Each structure stands twice: as structure tokens, then as C-alpha cells.
């Protein structure tokens, strides 16, 4: 059995944020029923196409283990079917633009009337306030949540990150809200509304930068490289390049082959506890006791010199050799892995973190499997559904339509080209 066996999810999500959430729920065993506009479906099905005619990787990698029903929720019969789905499901998840569900006639009040036990989970760009009506995408959330202003180098513009902290990050937050609400429902018997704003999700992940904002009132942030370089602080948390956020000096340094390989780099932290090992490894044993180098505060204005010396050593080694040498000495380092290297990493396939999935339209592709491992709820990654692949099955098996009634729904045009 799986952790969420028996839980039915009405998945009204699209693009990335909502689908990442419902994909996790599906991996934990829930029956996820993805409702899609007839003939159109989730817009990502046809975005960033690499195999003509096939669902895109954008869609397939975010919608594993789900079933798809085509349903026009603005058509009268479609609304009837949606009402039946709300009656049958434990959770409705949506990430439409603000007000879209209300415009369909399905306000939270109406949804509760239909099924008082249902949990309704929503992602919006902003929480209540002056921006609540805005449509929001990933990078907007990264900017509004404080991440962009604190990412990048001091002398450059704000940067967005490659990690999708606005979309996938908020999907994760929502997923936690849903399982928590399901847990509470066990005791109260009631459903509730779970809301996550993308701005809030990004801010939550940028928490340490708000920590630094407040520390600025007590003086400069000494662990930031700019302090050692004598550059004054302004009134907001600055961009810190590749400084490590935890107070231990850290940088990204070149490794052997960096001239040709854009990813021949390592992260290197000169953790105070292993300073002596660092000195030995890089051939600077004298720094262990030398005045100006022996203690962390003394080193703050010499970080550029120290990291240059470390880099002189790292450029003689590959990023993996750096790891092999430093790990046994507890010196924290990490190779900069390219997506190609990750795709070729057998170890990640063994743990199920990377998976190969077969798809009828596109053949085999790689995907990220479930990153959360439950010892008593195994995940088997199954391909994403084709548009409307399960329409008839859901109408009959989940909602109990049969015979003339099923024919009536299909003939109404509310459910695409489903066959009775």
C-alpha cells in the first residue's frame, strides 16, 4: 500500500507550480485526476516542443502518475461533471489566475456546499493585498520574494536562479499544506482552504537573507566578502556572489580543465574547524600559526588572497579529485555538476532520484523521480497521461455514469472526443 492510497485529487492545475504539487501527491499514492480543457489541455503540453506531435518534456516531467479527463468547466454539462468530481474527491488543487474558479461559478463557499469535507488548495502569485489580482510566473515570484535582489555579484544586476523556487518551490509548500489539512481532517471531519502565494514561498526560502537584513542594523555583515574588501554596506542585504550563507567563508573556484569546461569548478569552504587541514592540503602550512591568518576574524580581510592560494591548488586537480582529497579531511567541498553529468550518474538512477520513462509518443526520456523517500510507500514513476486518455474511465468508474447518462454527457461536447 501507498501512503495516500484512497485519496482522490481533483487536479485543476497547469503549467509548473500546481502540477509539481499534484505529481508528489500521485507519487505518494493518491489518485490524481487532471482536468483539462477539451482539445487544448495544459498549455505546457505544446510548449518547448522537441519531438513534433508528442507531449513536451515540460509537460511529461511534471505530470507523471496522473489520469487525464477532458472537461469544459464552463459548459452546463461540464459543470455538472465538475460538481460530481468535487463530491467524490478529497482535495481540489488549482493554480488558475485569481478569480478564475469564481468566474466558473465554483467559489470556495459553493465548493464547501457541494462537499464540506473537501480540502481546496490554491497557488496564487501574491497573497491578499494590492497585488492579489496579478498573474504571476516563476521569475516574477523570484523577484518579488527577495531572492533576485540577494542573488548575483555586488557589481552586477539582480539575478534569478535556475532552481525553480517560485513554481516548484511553492508546489512543495502547497503539498505540505494539503497533507497537513488531510491529517487535521482525520480529527475534525472538516475540509479547509489551503493557500500558498508564490511570493511567500520564495521569501520563506530566502529567510536567511531577511536574517541578514536585520543584522545590518548592528553593523556590517562580516562574513560577506565585501566586508574584507572594505566595501561599505548599504541599507539592504546585498548580493553576495558565491559567499556561503552560513557564516563560513566559501567560494566557487576553478579546477583542472576550467579553460574548456564551463563546469570545471568546485565549491570550497574554509570551515574554521578544518583550517589547519586546508593549509596542509594547499601547501601553506605556515598559515596555521602565522599572525593574521591563524584565526577566522584575522582572515576576513585576506579572503581574496587565501582563496587565490586555494584556487592555485584546485586548478591542479579535477573537481572530483578535490572532492576525494578534501572529503576524508572534513573540508566541505562540492563539484559543480552539469546537467549532463547528473543525467549520466548511475547512483542517482539506483536511488530512483533519476528515472527513465517510456512514453508512447516520444519513446524513452529521463526525468527526476520522487526526491522524498518513504520506507513504507514505494514510488513507481509512470508516464504522464495523454490528453483525455482517461475521460471515459473517470466518468464511469469514478463518477458512476453509465448507459444513456454517459452518452448524454459525451454527446454534450463537454468532455472532448471521449467515446462511450
> Which positions touch ligand COA (CB under 6 A)?
15-18, 35-37, 71-74, 95-97, 100, 103-104, 123-125, 135-137, 167
Nearest C-alpha neighbor of 270 from the set 313, 238, 229, 239: 313
Nearest C-alpha neighbor of 172 from the set 150, 153, 198: 198
Nearer to ligand COA, 131 or 233 (CB): 131
Nearer to ligand COA, 15 or 30 (CB): 15
Q: Are 5 and 29 in contact (CB under 8 A)?
A: yes
CA 56 to chain CA centroid, Å, is: 19
Q: Give the nearest distance from C-beta 219 to ligand COA in angstroms.
A: 39
Q: Give the nearest distance from C-beta 180 to ligand COA in angstroms.
A: 20
C-alpha cell at 401: 455514469
Q: Give the nearest distance from C-beta 113 to ligand COA in angstroms.
A: 20
Helix orientation angle between 403-411 and 76-88, rounded to the nearest 10 degrees: 130
Q: Give the nearest distance from C-beta 413 to ligand COA in angstroms.
A: 12
Q: Please identify which of the residues 167, 200, 212, 243 carries the catalytic annotation.
A: 167
Nearer to ligand COA, 240 or 410 (CB): 410
Distance CA 230, CA 222 (A): 10
C-alpha cell at 331: 573540508
Nearer to ligand COA, 100 or 420 (CB): 100
C-alpha cell at 122: 490554491
Environment class of 184 (CB within 10 Å of its CB; exposed 0-12, middle 13-18, buried 19+)? middle
Nearer to ligand COA, 172 or 326 (CB): 172
Q: How many CA atoms lie within 13 A of 376 on its CB side?
A: 4
Nearer to ligand COA, 299 or 390 (CB): 390
H or E element at residue 94: strand 91-94
167 flagged as catalytic: yes
Distance CA 309, CA 253 (A): 10
Distance CA 48, CA 397 (A): 34
Distance CA 194, CA 204 (A): 16
Residue in the shown chain whose Cβ atom is closest to ligand COA: 97
β-strand pairing of 354-359 with 363-368:
antiparallel
Q: Give the nearest distance from C-beta 201 to ligand COA in angstroms.
A: 10
Q: Give the nearest distance from C-beta 169 to ligand COA in angstroms.
A: 11
Distance CA 217, CA 323 (A): 38
**Catalytic machinery residues:** 167
Amino acid at each position: 500500500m501507498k501512503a495516500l492510497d484512497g485519496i482522490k485529487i481533483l487536479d485543476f492545475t497547469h503549467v509548473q507550480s500546481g502540477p509539481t504539487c499534484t505529481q508528489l501527491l500521485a507519487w505518494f499514492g493518491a489518485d490524481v485526476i487532471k482536468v483539462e480543457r477539451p482539445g487544448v489541455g495544459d498549455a505546457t503540453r505544446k510548449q518547448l516542443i522537441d519531438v513534433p506531435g508528442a507531449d513536451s518534456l515540460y509537460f511529461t516531467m511534471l505530470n507523471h502518475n496522473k489520469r487525464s479527463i477532458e472537461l469544459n468547466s464552463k459548459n452546463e454539462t461540464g459543470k455538472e461533471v465538475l460538481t460530481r468530481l468535487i463530491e467524490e474527491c478529497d482535495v481540489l488543487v488549482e493554480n488558475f489566475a485569481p478569480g478564475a474558479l469564481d468566474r466558473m461559478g465554483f467559489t470556495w463557499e459553493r465548493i464547501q456546499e457541494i462537499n464540506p469535507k473537501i480540502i481546496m488548495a490554491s497557488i496564487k502569485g501574491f497573497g491578499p493585498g494590492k497585488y492579489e489580482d496579478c498573474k504571476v510566473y516563476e521569475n516574477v515570484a523570484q523577484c518579488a520574494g527577495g531572492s533576485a535582489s540577494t542573488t548575483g555579484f555586488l557589481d552586477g544586476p539582480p539575478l534569478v536562479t535556475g532552481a525553480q523556487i517560485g513554481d516548484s518551490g511553492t508546489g512543495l509548500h502547497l503539498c505540505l499544506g494539503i497533507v497537513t489539512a488531510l491529517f487535521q481532517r482525520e480529527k475534525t471531519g472538516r475540509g479547509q482552504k489551503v493557500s500558498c502565494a508564490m511570493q511567500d514561498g520564495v521569501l520563506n526560502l530566502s529567510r536567511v537573507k531577511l536574517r541578514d537584513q536585520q543584522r545590518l542594523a548592528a553593523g556590517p555583515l562580516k562574513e560577506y566578502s565585501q566586508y574584507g574588501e572594505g566595501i561599505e554596506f548599504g541599507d539592504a542585504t546585498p548580493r553576495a556572489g558565491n559567499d556561503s550563507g552560513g557564516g563560513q567563508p566559501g567560494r566557487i573556484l576553478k579546477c583542472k580543465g576550467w579553460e574548456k569546461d564551463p563546469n570545471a569548478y568546485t565549491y570550497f569552504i574554509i570551515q574554521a574547524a578544518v583550517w589547519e587541514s586546508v593549509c596542509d592540503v594547499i601547501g601553506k602550512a605556515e598559515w596555521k600559526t602565522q599572525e593574521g591568518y591563524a584565526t577566522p576574524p584575522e582572515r576576513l580581510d585576506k579572503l581574496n588572497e587565501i582563496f587565490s592560494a586555494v584556487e592555485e591548488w584546485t586548478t591542479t586537480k579535477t573537481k572530483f579529485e578535490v572532492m576525494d582529497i578534501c572529503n576524508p579531511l572534513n573540508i566541505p567541498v562540492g563539484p559543480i555538476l552539469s546537467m549532463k553529468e547528473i543525467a549520466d550518474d548511475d547512483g542517482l538512477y539506483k536511488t530512483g532520484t533519476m528515472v527513465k520513462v517510456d512514453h508512447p509518443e516520444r519513446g524513452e526520456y529521463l526525468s527526476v523521480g520522487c526526491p522524498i523517500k518513504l520506507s513504507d510507500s514505494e514510488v513507481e514513476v509512470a508516464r504522464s497521461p495523454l490528453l483525455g486518455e482517461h475521460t471515459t474511465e473517470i466518468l464511469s468508474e469514478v463518477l458512476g455514469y453509465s448507459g444513456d447518462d454517459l452518452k448524454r454527457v459525451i454527446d454534450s461536447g463537454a468532455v472532448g472526443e471521449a467515446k462511450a
